[in-house]
Structure 1
Amino acid sequence: MASMNCHYYSFSLKRTVDVNVIIPTPEGNEQITSEETKKSYPYDTGLPVLYLLHGAYGDYSSWMRFSNIERYAQKHCVAVVMASADNSFYQDMYLGNNYFTFFTEELPAFVKSIFPISKRREDTFVAGLSMGGYGAWYLGLSKPEQYAKAASLSGALDIEMTYERTKDGEGGSPFRWDLIFKNPTDVLGSDADLITLYDRCEKAGNLPELYFACGTEDFVYDMNTAMKAQLDERGSKAVYVEGPGNHDWDFWEAYIQKVLQWMLPL
Structure 2
Amino acid sequence: MASMNCHYYSYSLGHTVDVNVFVPTPEGNEQITSESAKKAFPYEKGLPVLYLLHGAFGDYSSWMRFSNIERYAQKHCCVVVMASAENSFYQDMYHGNRYFTFFSEELPGFIKSIFPVSKRREDTFVAGLSMGGYGAWFLGLSKPEQYAKAASMSGALNIVKTFEQIKNGSIDGPFPWKNIFENPDEIAGSSADLMVLYDRCVKEGIVPELYQACGTEDFLYEMNKEVKKTMEEKGAHVIYEEGPGNHNWDFWDQYIKNVLQWMIPV
What is the TM-score of this pair, normalised by structure 1?
Answer: 0.96
Give the structure 1 partner of residue 2 of structure 2: 2
Question: Is 1:136 matched up with 2:124?
Answer: no
Give the structure 2 partner of residue 111 of structure 1: 111
Give the structure 2 partner of residue 261 of structure 1: 261
Q: How far does residue 223 in structure 1 lie from its aligned partner after superposition? A: 1.1
Once the two structures are superposed, what CA deviation does each residue of 1:167-215 show, in whole Å capped at 9, x if it has no partner?
Answer: 3666552111000000101111110000010011011110000000000
Is the 1:54–1:84 Cα contact (8 Å) retained in structure 2?
A: yes
Cα distance in 2 between the residues matched to 1:253 and 1:135: 18
Structure 1 letter corresponding to 2:191: D
Is the 2:140–2:147 Cα contact (8 Å) retained in structure 1?
A: yes
Is the 1:53–1:127 Cα contact (8 Å) retained in structure 2?
A: yes
Is the 1:137–1:194 Cα contact (8 Å) retained in structure 2?
A: yes
Give the structure 2 partner of residue 33 of structure 1: 31
Helix, strand or coil: the match of 2:219? Answer: coil
Is the 2:141–2:207 Cα contact (8 Å) retained in structure 1?
A: yes
Is the 1:167–1:177 Cα contact (8 Å) retained in structure 2?
A: no
Structure 1 letter corresponding to 2:29: Q
Is the 1:52–1:82 Cα contact (8 Å) retained in structure 2?
A: yes
Is the 2:76–2:264 Cα contact (8 Å) retained in structure 1?
A: yes
Helix, strand or coil: the match of 2:22? Answer: strand
Give the structure 1 partner of residue 232 of structure 2: 232
Cα distance in 2 between the residues matched to 1:114 and 1:169: 45
Is the 1:45–1:118 Cα contact (8 Å) retained in structure 2?
A: yes
Cα distance in 1 between the residues matched to 2:118 and 2:105: 15
Question: Is 1:122 matched up with 2:122?
Answer: yes
Structure 2 letter corresponding to 1:48: P
> CA distance change for structure 1 residues 100 and 38 in 2, over 3 Å: closer, same or farther?
closer
> CA distance change for structure 1 residues 2 and 256 in 2, over 3 Å: closer, same or farther?
same
Identity value in percent: 70
Give the structure 2 partner of residue 21 of structure 1: 21
Moved more, 93-102 or 36-45: 36-45
| Residue pairs, 1:39-50, within 5 angstroms | 39-50=39-50
What is the TM-score of this pair, normalised by structure 2?
Answer: 0.96
Helix, strand or coil: the match of 2:223? Answer: helix
| Residue pairs, 1:155-194, within 5 angstroms | 155-167=155-167, 172-194=172-194
> CA distance change for structure 1 residues 170 and 10 in 2, over 3 Å: closer, same or farther?
farther
Q: What RMSD in Å do the two structures reach over aligned CA positions?
A: 1.4
Is the 2:56–2:174 Cα contact (8 Å) retained in structure 1?
A: yes
Q: How far does residue 38 in structure 1 lie from its aligned partner after superposition? A: 6.9
Once the two structures are superposed, what CA deviation does each residue of 1:18-68 show, in whole Å capped at 9, x if it has no partner?
Answer: 00000001x23x423248857521111211100000000000000000000
Structure 2 letter corresponding to 1:104: S
Is the 1:158–1:193 Cα contact (8 Å) retained in structure 2?
A: yes
Is the 1:5–1:18 Cα contact (8 Å) retained in structure 2?
A: yes
Contiguous gaps of at least 5 residues in structure 1:
none
> CA distance change for structure 1 residues 193 and 171 in 2, over 3 Å: closer, same or farther?
closer
Cα distance in 2 between the residues matched to 1:146 and 1:101: 13
Is the 2:20–2:60 Cα contact (8 Å) retained in structure 1?
A: yes
Helix, strand or coil: the match of 1:102? Answer: helix
Moved more, 8-17 or 39-48: 39-48
Aligned residues: 264
Moved more, 38-47 or 149-158: 38-47
Cα distance in 2 between the residues matched to 1:181 and 1:34: 52
Cα distance in 2 between the residues matched to 1:16 and 1:114: 17
Cα distance in 2 between the residues matched to 1:102 and 1:10: 8
Is the 2:5–2:20 Cα contact (8 Å) retained in structure 1?
A: yes
Question: Is 1:94 matched up with 2:97?
Answer: no
